[in-house]
Amino acid sequence: MRNAIVVFTKVPKAGETKTRLTTQRGGVLTPEEAQSFYEACLLDVINSCTAARSGDVWICYNSDGDRDYLDELLTGVAEPEKIKGIYCDHGGTFDECMQYAADYILKKDDENRLADGVVIVGGDLPGLQPAIVRQAVNKLTRLALSSNSLVAAKKADEEVGAAVVEGACQEGGFSIIGYTYTTPFNFERVFYNQEGITALDMVVDKAEAGKIPFAFVEMVPDVDIPVDLASMIPVVKGIQLAACYDKEVLMPVNIIKMLEELGLGASAPPPRR
């Protein structure tokens, strides 16, 4: 089974990237620092995806993003030659952009599909490790080749069946999602619905309703608000130390450098008596 890993991202831009981390929105970073922070995250995420050696790595960016700037930024990844391709979404709601990111790869009814399964990851996951990406792809593949998956796909003549894999982040969201071209799944109402259903719940509900084989991988928090940033710093320090003793651990070198340049650290003040 052919798999693709898509890094779903915005092209970093001061004043438009990670604005909730900026002082204007109650955070601690300037707009330029927030941009640099996200750039570091994105480079480390791509490095984890290519190091996973689990499928072709693609980059999907926002339709109004600066492609030339993105190309320049991507020269900073560890293995630029491992990036299979770069494409932009077609705009619209977040649901629609995510759908396009998957459809571009899977081309569900087209023999010229670029992969049989796709795993999409966000660009703001400092704790993402190659092992997590690899696990997501492996679980998706295992489920997609099971007998239950062919029943869920309702396509008896296909070798690849229906399957979904997901990894959570905070507040009912997800940081990783993947499925196959035969999976009866779409992103409609996943992020935008009137019932107040979380994105994570909506994916689970859709999989359950369609009796689609479902897999879960380790939670990988993203960084949107100051408390996320504060929570992330000790995690990165732990990864940095673990990488000294475990060759399977990939050090997020760009985030580490960024934190050092900004002089950022986390603290836990003792409670007042």
pLDDT over 70, % of the chain = 99
d(CA 50, CA 266): 30
pLDDT tier for residue 272 given thresholds of 50, 70 and 90:
confident
**Helices 31-51 and 67-74, packing angle to 10 deg:** 60
> Residue 17 has what DSSP assignment?
S
Rounded to a whole number of angstroms, the distance between the first and last alpha carbons of the chain is 60
pLDDT tens digits along 2-30: 999 999 999 999 999 999 999 999 899 99
Tens digits of per-residue pLDDT, 59-91? 999 999 999 999 999 999 999 999 999 999 998
- Write down the domain spans for the chain: 3-260
Digit-coded pLDDT (tens) for 191-223: 988 889 999 999 999 999 999 999 999 999 999
Q: Which CATH class is domain 3-260?
A: alpha beta
Q: 60 is written with which tokens?
A: 């999907």
Question: What global pTM score does this model have?
Answer: 0.95
